Amino acid sequence: MATISSLGVGSNLDLSTLLDTLTTNEEKRLTPITDKQTSYNAKLTAYGTLTSALETFTTATEALTDSSVFTEKVASTHDAFTTEVDADAVSGSYSISVTQLAAAQSLTSSQTFSDTTSLIGTSGSTDRSISIQVGTATAVSVSLTDAQTTLAGVRDAINGAKAGVTASIIQSGDSSYQLVIQSDSTGETSEMNISVTGDDTLNGIIGYSSTEADADSTYTSGMSESVAAQNAKLTVNGTAVERSSNTISDVPQGVTLTLTSTTSSTQNLIIRQSATSSTKAVEDWVSAYNTLLTTFDTLSSYTAVTSGEDQDTSNGALLGDSVLRSVKSQIKNLVSSAQSSDTFQVLNQLGVTLNKDGTLTTDEATLVKNLADNPTAVSDFFVGDGKTTGLATQLSSVVHAFTDDDGTISDASDNIDSILDKLGDQYTQVQNSIDTVVARYKKQFTALDVLVASLNSTSDYLTQQFDAISASSSS
């Protein structure tokens, strides 16, 4: 509040205090506006809290709209292979024997070299190239200069060709190096054919024909086969299975086997229904629902007061709010209503109890049994048709109608923003009016101060004159 320190100096009247009092009284005209602004801003904040709580609840709810959470399968563990199981897997027991792992062909140079930097080809060739073919894939050709015809140069050229093979150098002894070329793919169909044109010397060192080697057991070349290409072989429930890779994704159904070793005896793979993830999902949803109810209660809390007293300041910002009342009613009605699914119609049948205070609790033993024994029926209860039926599906739809960008809460917030804009305009208008009135008071008081000061000055002058006349008469 502004004060005028010099006001009243001339008149000796307490005009400054009077102006402050009048200004304070004028500013009371702003109180109804600021009270409304405070109330509406509190509602905006409360809508943000409500939206956050609903979105948290939606996350837990939508976990139950995914039918795969109810059909999760798990597999027993084994040393000879690892497993990944999807929803299509059939529960049961599978006898598995692994007799051979898939392997990638590996070739090693028969000749050894004292170092990796000396030239090993015929110098002067201008059209030297290496051709690399893996299986029936198109052959890849890479040109080599004279300088590249070292052991290291050949290795780097082959690797740079990206031909589906990997070249490396091994040190087999003191000053003894050999070139190794390995196929990047396992299986019998990934054998390599390598040849060099334009340099017979180099071809004699690294050339190899798997086609000829397969046809003639006496075939020899500059490279020898150190690891033969082979398929994985196993039996599943007595049926022979052969694949080019150690990762087998189609036997048994819905199971991906990754073979790591052969077996000395039959392994018994058990696939069974798991209720671990689905139980956690339901329990998380129950917890989220109870937390949401607490938020509802906090935002709409009410403390009774005696008739005629002001409302308690601890009341919830959304007390009596139609948006909160609507979303709360719709959610609670859905949770307590019967679903159209065949086996389970209400939560209590699943192992989720609706308490008298509206909260939920889980009977874990009953819930786990239902999820393990009848996962499809539990899925039907929560998921339904994924559009209009199923408890979780319907709850998700209801909540999104409130929390989406064009939802009910957004509309209500936009309406409050509009009201706050108008209140801001009203505040400015009233403040301008107050400033005008106070300025008028100040002008009037200043004029009064000047007038009284002038009158006081005149009075003092006349008093002096009368005193002088009186003194003259006495003498």
Over its length of 475 residues, how does the chain's per-residue pLDDT go in tens digits? 333 446 655 555 666 777 778 888 888 888 888 888 888 888 999 999 999 999 999 999 999 999 989 988 999 999 999 999 988 899 999 999 999 999 999 999 999 999 999 999 999 888 999 999 999 999 999 999 999 999 999 999 999 999 999 999 999 999 999 999 999 999 999 999 999 999 999 999 999 999 999 999 899 999 999 999 999 999 999 999 999 999 999 999 999 999 999 999 999 999 998 889 999 999 999 999 999 999 999 999 977 655 655 555 678 899 989 999 999 999 999 999 999 999 999 999 999 999 999 999 999 999 999 999 999 999 999 999 999 999 999 999 999 999 999 999 999 989 998 888 998 888 888 888 888 888 887 777 677 767 776 666 676 667 776 777 777 776 5
The predicted pLDDT at position 3 comes to 38
Q: Are residues 268 and 279 in the same domain?
A: no
d(CA 203, CA 168): 17
Show the domain range for 388: 1-72+274-303+311-461
2 found inside a domain: yes
Question: Quick one: tokens of 354?
Answer: 């609706």
Query: What pLDDT does 443 receive?
Result: 77
Query: Are 117 and 23 in a shared domain?
Result: no
* Residue 271, amino acid: I
* Closest C-alpha among 134, 82, 101, 106 to residue 231: 101
Residues 298 and 434 in one domain: yes
- Return the structure tokens found at 385: 């048709």
Residue 51's contacts (CB-CB under 8 Å, 6 or more residues apart) are 402, 403, 409
Q: Are residues 315 and 436 in the same domain?
A: yes
Strand, helix or coil at 384?
coil
In 300-346, which residue ranges form alpha helices assigned H by DSSP? Answer: 322-336
- Per-residue model confidence (pLDDT) at position 4: 41
Say if residue 281 is in the same domain as residue 413. yes
Our count of domains for the chain comes to 3
Note whether 183 and 153 are same-domain residues.
Answer: yes
Residue 469 lies in a domain: no
Contacts of 240 (CB under 8 A, 6+ apart): 233, 234
Residues 320 and 428 in one domain: yes
Is residue 467 domain-resident?
A: no
Residue 157's alpha-carbon distances to 44, 104, 116, in angstroms, are 67, 21, 14
CA 10 → CA 33, 457, 459, distances in Å? 38, 10, 14
For residue 85, being part of any structural domain is answered with yes
As a residue count, the chain comes to: 475
Q: Are residues 84 and 172 in the same domain?
A: no
Same domain, 367 and 422: yes
Cβ atoms of 161 and 133 closer than 8 Å = no
Round to whole Å and give the CA distance between 401 and 58: 12
Type and span of the H or E element at 351:
none
- pLDDT in the model for residue 308: 58
CA quadruple 99, 105, 106, 110: dihedral sign: positive
Same domain, 278 and 268: no
- Same domain, yes or no: 407 and 278: yes
**Residue finishing a domain among 193, 227, 261:** 227
Q: Report if residue 58 sits inside a domain.
A: yes
Phi/psi region, residue 179 (left: phi>0; alpha: psi -120 to 50; beta: rest), is beta
Do 195 and 278 sit in the same domain of this protein? no
Neighbours of 158 (CB within 10 A): 23
Q: What pLDDT, on the 0 to 100 scale, is given for residue 304?
A: 63
d(CA 93, CA 374): 19
The confidence score (pLDDT) of residue 449 equals 65
- For residue 1, is it within any domain? yes
Amino acid at 268: N
Residue 258 in contact with residue 81, Cβ under 8 Å? yes
Give the pLDDT of residue 13: 65
pLDDT for res 364: 93
Q: CA-to-CA distance for 17 and 3, rounded, in angstroms?
A: 8
